[in-house]
Structure 1
Amino acid sequence: MRIVVALGGNALLKPGEAVSAVAQRRNLRIATAQLAKMALSHELAIVHGNGPQVGLLALQEMSRPVETRFSLDVLDAETEGMIGYLIEQELRNSLPAAGYACATLLTMVEVSRDDPAFGHPDKPIGPVYTEAEATAAMQVHGWTMVHDGGFYRRTVPSPAPVRILQLEPVRWLLERGSIVICAGGGGIPVLAKVGGGYQGVEAVVDKDRSAALLACEIDADLLLIATDVEGVFLDWAMPARRLIRQAHPDDLAGLTFPAGTMGPKVEAACAFAKRTGRRAVIGALNDIERMCAGSAGTLVSCDQSGIAAD
């Protein structure tokens, strides 16, 4: 099978964990060990998140004079190269020495300048803040903040991906047996210029939406969205919450999920399943093999109507 795997932030950093090279490599070894097993039998394209990393770089830029600061699109590119390198290295270390190629591509993703997301930032990036720290950051920097797991995080625009510019190289590499790491952090957001060409834009594209678009465009058989929970839950904040085992995309899309976290995952899974008639699965990183086999996570499929939960 040709599989697109979207690795959530927990592949690099667990909730509350400090952004450090040691922690990221330790967590990646767990993820790449499972991905390496899948690569023995399947074609793989891997997309990863970059929220904590791009947020940290943005904070570092704040210490520089305004006229010398790099914009978010450039920081997206930096994190795509950095994280892609780490994933590729650890993946190569987990694979047999011969017979497996792996490539990381800096990937530009076109977005629309009319996307309403530019007026409603909802993508969390960077570290967590207490309420007092968040209030101060909003006053000093003019940031928008969102409540996230008992703390607060900065939010930035997250426009929908319209087109993946490096699509042909991705196809070329997959057809020749390479594992491809691409559209990292959702890709580098760019706008089409009047008269031709592209320019970067201040945003962070959601990696799940980009993974779904990629999966559709490369004719993937399966979209796996790996995160830090077992799957999609009904009544998530309630003691009696229930794990959705299987759902038709029309029924799942009728429910409401948090915009900056589970919402894009559900949207991406539903979009892929409806457009292709194939399966998408949302579940825990350590269940990737079982998700692929259909025995773990939340399966999103057009094969059956309704929602089955327990």
Structure 2
Amino acid sequence: MRVLLALGGNAMTNADGRARPEDQIAAAQVAMAAVAELLSEDVEVVITHGNGPQVGNLLVKNELAATVVPPVPLDWCGAQTQATLGFVLMNTLEAELVRRGILRRTATVVTRALVDRDDPGFTRPTKPIGRFLPAEEAQLLVEHGETWEDRGEKGWRRVVASPEPLEIVDAPAIQALVEAGFVVVANGGGGIPVVRDADGNLGGVEAVIDKDLGAALLARTVEVDVLVIATDVPHAVLHFGTPEASDIGTVSVSQLRAYAAEGHFASGSMGPKVEAVCRFVERGGSRAIITDLANLSTAVRGDGGTVVVPD
């Protein structure tokens, strides 16, 4: 069995959201212990991850240094965090595998995802990123070409496009490494968004791809059997936050779509995860799972989490 495990960016921070290096390493150790458990059961694992908190840290550095050096473009932030998080995940996974007496090689692929330069998201950026700033500080970054919006009492916040991922550009390298037996970390943060010009050349763009939609595309591209979206709850929930709340166990993709249409899943949290697992199953995946790391192994074996199956 081949599994794609998609870790949220907050899975790489501590419980209160701090993202100091030691916090990220400690969180990675927890996540990679769960991966090592799967590997010990002869499950092939490909890993992808979010990078929101880590990109947020880089954006703060951009803001603080804007009067001294030009801000680093957002696609560079994505590339930097892919490499850094891949480095941390490889180190922690290899240490856990050694502890268990398992010999597996690891690799990280800094991964580009092709988007359409005419994607509607570029016309009116709406994805908020980073922290709120006073108007005068935001104005300096506007002068560097960024788009910021007045969000009232909280201040100004940067907004960027969130285009649909169309193709994993570096899929052949990922696939070759997987077939050679590597545990591969790839397509972090949904992939570094790139567009193709009239001559066929690729260039990065100021955008953020939804990490869960990027995970669904990667899962199909590398032909995994199961997509697992790892989050901080063991199941997706109906009527979340109300006395009628109930966990969703095994569910058909059409029924999960119906729940989504009824408004059960928030657009900024569970909504994209539900969309990702539905896309994977609708386009040929055998099943997809939403669960937490504590239940990862049992869920992959078919005994836990929200399990989405074909109709």
Question: SS in structure 2 opposite 1:291?
Answer: helix
Q: 3-state SS of the aligned residue for 2:46?
A: strand
Is 1:173 the counterpart of 2:177 in the alignment? yes
Match of 1:72 in 2: 74
8 Å contact from structure 1 (residues 28, 87) kept in 2: yes
Any residues of structure 2 matched to 1:153-232 within 5 Å, and which?
156-232=160-236
> Any idea what SS the aligned residue of 2:207 has?
coil
Unaligned 5+ runs, structure 2: none
Quote how far apart the aligned CAs of 1:215 are. 1.0
Secondary structure (helix, strand or coil) at the match of 1:95 reads: helix
Corresponding letter in the other structure for 1:143: W
The corresponding residue for 2:291 is 283
Q: CA RMSD in A?
A: 2.8
Match of 1:295 among 277, 291, 303: 303
The AA in structure 2 aligned to 1:82 is T
Q: CA deviation at 1:139?
A: 8.1
Q: Separation in 2 of the partners of 1:229 and 1:134? A: 35
Query: C-alpha displacement at 1:126, in angstroms?
Result: 3.9
Structure 1 157/281 Cα, relative in aligned 2: closer, same or farther at 3 Å? same
Contact 2:148-2:157 at 8 Å conserved across structures: no
- Secondary structure at the residue paired with 1:276? coil
The one-letter amino acid paired with 1:116 is P
Which residue in the other structure is 2:242 paired with? Answer: 238
Of residues 285-294 and 135-144 in structure 1, the stretch that sits farther from structure 2 once superposed is 135-144
Match of 1:306 in 2: none
Which of 244, 247, 250 pairs up with 2:251?
247
Q: What letter matches 1:64 in structure 2?
A: A
TM-superposed CA distance for 1:247, in Å, is: 2.0
How far residue 236 of structure 1 moved from its aligned partner, in angstroms, is 1.4
8 Å CA contact retained: 1:122, 1:259: no
Are 2:114 and 1:110 aligned? yes
For 1:199 and 1:99, the matched residues in 2 are separated by 38
The one-letter amino acid of 1:264's match is P
Q: Which residue of 2 aligns with 1:88?
A: 90
Q: 1:7–1:277: structure 2 CA closer, same or farther, 3 Å change rule?
A: closer
Q: Name the CA distance, whole Å, in 1 between partners of 2:139 and 2:204.
A: 27
Counterpart in the other structure of 1:261: 269
Deviations 1:38-84 (A, max 9, x none): 12311111000000110110121123249722110000000001111
Paired with 1:50 and 1:278, the residues of 2 have a C-alpha distance of 27
Which TM-score applies when normalising by structure 2?
0.86
Shift of residue 245 of structure 1? Answer: 1.0
Q: 1:291 to 1:180 in 2, by over 3 A?
A: same
Tell me which amino acid in the other structure corresponds to 2:34: Q
Q: 1:12 to 1:99 in 2, by over 3 A?
A: same
Counterpart for residue 43 of structure 1: 44
% identity of equivalent residues: 38
For normalisation by structure 1, the TM-score amounts to 0.86
Q: Alpha-carbon deviations, 1:141-165, whole Å to 9, x = none? A: 663599xxxxx98653221210011
Structure 2: distance between partners of 1:136 and 1:246: 51
What is the rounded CA distance, in whole Å, between the counterparts of 1:139 and 1:67 in structure 2? 16
TM-aligned CA distance change 1:280 to 1:123, over 3 Å: farther
After superposing the two structures, state which structure 1 stretch, 199-208 or 71-80, moved more.
199-208
Assess, with a 3 A threshold, how the Cα gap between structure 1 residues 66 and 192 changes in structure 2: closer, same or farther: farther
Q: Could you tell me which residue of structure 2 aligns to residue 27 of structure 1? A: 27
Q: Distance in 2 between matches of 1:69 and 1:153?
A: 16
Q: Say if 1:144 and 1:156, in contact at 8 Å, map to a contact too.
A: no
Give 1:194's aligned amino acid.
Answer: A
- Report the equivalent of 2:62: 61
Name the residue aligned to 1:149: none
Do the aligned partners of 2:10 and 2:52 also contact (CA within 8 Å) in 1?
no
Counterpart for residue 99 of structure 1: 103
Shift of 1:178: 0.6
Paired with 2:88 and 2:206, the residues of 1 have a C-alpha distance of 25
Tell me, in whole angstroms, the C-alpha distance in 2 between the residues paired with 1:297 and 1:122: 32
- Number of aligned residue pairs: 297
| Distance in 1 separating the partners of 2:150 and 2:29 | 32
Deviation at 1:277, TM superposition (A): 4.3
